Amino acid sequence: MSDLKYKAIIGLEIHVHLNTKTKMFCSCPLEYGGEPNTCVCPVCLGMPGVLPVMNKKAYEYAVLAGLALNCNIPRYTKWDRKSYYYPDLPKNYQISQYDLPMSEHGYIEIPTKEGDVKKIRITRAHLEEDAGKNTHSGSFSQVDLNRAGTPLLEIVTEPDLSNGFEVRELAVQLQRIIRYLGVSQADMQKGHMRFEPNVNLHISRGGEKYKTPIAEIKNLNSFKALELSVEYEIKRQLGEFVENGVTMETGQKTTRGWDADREVTLHQRSKEAANDYRYFPDPDLVPVELDDEWFEDIKSRMCELPLAREMRFVSEYGLSEYDAGVLTAERDMADYFEDAVRGGADPKRLCNILTQTGFKLAKDAGKSFVELGVSAAAMAKLCVMTDEGTVNATAASSILEKMAADGGDPEKLAEQLNLIQKSDAGELEGIVDAVLSENSKAVEDVLSGGKKSGKARGFLMGQVMQKTKGQANPKVVNQLLGEKLRIKN
């Protein structure tokens, strides 16, 4: 083993349900979690003599995604039939795209473990229809065809990935892009987004080079499963090579499933080749020609993508990379943040209130922060009030909690809750004098300038805050203490 070296070669296939109201080639509604086989019609059931009609919105969403992935968008593409038999595919073929996909030759950038950015090439992204869903219980199986015909964008990368971490990061970045564009909800638990990594190893030993058979891991629907299954498959293939000498010449391509409980991949079947699907142009659908006017209309819907926006939040607003990543994770949150900044909120103050209080309130409510209903204008006003010293940071958190629960104007809430800070120096001066008079030992410790000085100064500040029930403006109190103590000194 000492002279054995290997490199994992990983490509990824991603299936994304597009967020249209109806299916790809018929008018059946797209509904998740409905009664089985209720959202079906003769077209998606594959009845004889029916004709498909392309969903224009699905095609536009696919083009938009292709543009975001830096793909070339051909102006001419066609539909093909991909033939295979499976119980959840009633036509016995799938309408897909083969040799003329609607986007190709793009790339996506991802962070690496080393903190660099790596460019992963996109081979193609093409449109097709999804199959139905099989469920297995005991000794029988059932088929639900509600999903059959759902618009499905299949994205295929080049084998540029090297480990489970990179695969996971690509999936995270891709989900963010898809959601930003609004072309899919990309909820993996609902099956909106599924991942299928293709893994094999290039091994060198004793001056010879070997390749292990490619294994495709099917239908992964979580980032954790994606990373763990890839790392397991790398170890499994290496062990199989070392123990049995299995290579691409002696083994064969396979598809494997992921057992999340045991955290292992399991053999399912041998992998089909392209010629097994007997692709040919679909005779019931005309090719799609994307003219300049239509193409420019789709391009005009592009938004600033999440990674670029995250970097801008760091450079323009002075946020940390972590905070910028949190605030730009979802487009509506990033939009909200910038709306509040335009309304007068200081970016860092706004970030602190959101991350320290706002997101906790949202989590407790089981919603996103935007869904809590606090307007960006009200949030901006609360930030300004905090910066101006009208309320302190603790009070701002209490006010935000009330705004999230019942709504209301932050200024009026501050008055109602008696949270407005006392900033009148004349009013506070008497309280400061009383504290200094009542705590002569602490005053002596401050004036001594020794180790106890800082602690004693803090004690005096605390006494003033206690007498004012936390409503004194710390800046004003600190200034008064400084003046009074300099006089005494």
Q: How does residue 394 score in pLDDT terms, banded at 50, 70 and 90?
A: confident
Q: Looking at residue 369, what DSSP letter applies?
A: S
Tokens of 441: 């030992």
Q: Where are the alpha helices (DSSP H) in 151-291?
A: 164-181, 223-244
Strands, DSSP E only, in 20-157?
76-77, 80-83, 93-96, 103-111, 117-129, 133-137, 140-144, 151-157
Pairing of strands 280-281, 133-137: unpaired
CA distance linking residue 149 with residue 164, whole number of Å: 32
Q: Residue 425 has what pLDDT?
A: 62
Which tokens is 379 given?
């949030």
Query: 425-485 — its CATH code?
Result: 1.10.10.410
Tokens of 217: 């891991």
> Per-residue pLDDT for 435 more than 80?
no
Q: Name the β-bridge partners of 153.
A: 16, 127
pLDDT band at 419; cut points 50, 70, 90: confident
Task: Give residue 275's pLDDT.
Answer: 73
Q: Per-residue pLDDT averaged across 288-309, rounded? A: 95
Q: Is the per-residue pLDDT at 424 higher than 60? A: no
pLDDT of residue 173: 94
SS3 state of residue 149: coil
- Closest CA relative to residue 240, chosen from 219, 224, 256, 221: 256
> What pLDDT was estimated at residue 426?
64
Q: What are phi and psi of 348, to 5 degrees?
A: -70, -40
pLDDT per residue as tens digits for the range 193-217 = 999 999 999 999 988 999 999 999 9
Which residues have a Cβ under 8 Å from the Cβ of 174 and sit 6 or more positions away?
Answer: 14, 108, 155
Instruction: Report the SS3 class of residue 264.
Output: strand
Other C-beta atoms closer than 10 Å to the C-beta of 134 total: 12
Looking at the chain, how many residues does it have?
A: 489
| Band of pLDDT at residue 365, cut at 50, 70 and 90 | very high
Alpha helices (H) in 17-72, listed in sequence order? 56-68
pLDDT at 272: 62
How far is 94 from 85, CA to CA, in rounded Å?
10
Q: Of 113 and 231, which is predicted with more confidence? A: 231
Single pTM value for the model: 0.83
- Lowest mean pLDDT of 172-176, 317-321, 412-416, name the range: 412-416
At residue 461, the pLDDT reads 78
Question: CATH 1.10.10.410 in the chain, residues?
Answer: 425-485
pLDDT in tens, 150-205: 999 999 999 999 999 999 999 999 999 999 999 999 999 888 999 999 999 999 99
**Dihedral sign, CA of 434, 437, 440, 445?**
positive
The percent of residues above 90 in pLDDT, for the chain, comes to 70
Q: Using CA atoms, how far apart are residues 307 and 321, in angstroms rounded to an integer?
A: 11
pLDDT at 139 over 60: yes
User: In whole angstroms, what is the distance from residue 382 CA to residue 360 CA?
Assistant: 17
Quickly tell me which residue has 């103050």 as its tokens: 349
pLDDT band at 423 (very low <50, low <70, confident <90, very high): low
Please list, in sequence order, all residues whose beta carbon lies within 8 angstroms of the beta carbon of residue 278, skipping any fewer than 6 positions away.
Answer: 81, 83
DSSP β-ladder status, 288-289 and 117-129: unpaired
Average pLDDT over residues 73-94: 93
Provide φ and ψ at 81, rounded to 5°.
-100, 130
Distance between CA 481 and CA 435 in Å, rounded? 10
Sequence-distant (6+) residues with CB within 8 A of 326 are 355, 359
Q: Is 303 exposed, middle or buried (0-12, 13-18, 19+ CB in 10 A)?
A: middle
pLDDT band of 469, cuts 50, 70, 90:
confident
The phi-psi region of residue 454 (left if phi > 0; otherwise alpha if psi is between -120 and 50; otherwise beta) is: alpha
> Could you give the percent of the chain with pLDDT greater than 70?
96
Distance of alpha carbon 476 from alpha carbon 364, whole angstroms: 36
Measure the CA–CA gap between 76 and 373, rounded to whole angstroms. 45
The CB-based long-range contact list for 426-433 (8 Å cut-off, 24+ gap) reads: 428/464, 428/468, 428/472, 428/473, 428/476, 428/477, 428/480, 429/480, 431/464, 431/467, 431/468, 431/472, 432/464, 432/477, 432/480, 432/481, 432/484, 433/484
Residue 178's pLDDT is: 96
Partners of 11 in the β-ladder: 198
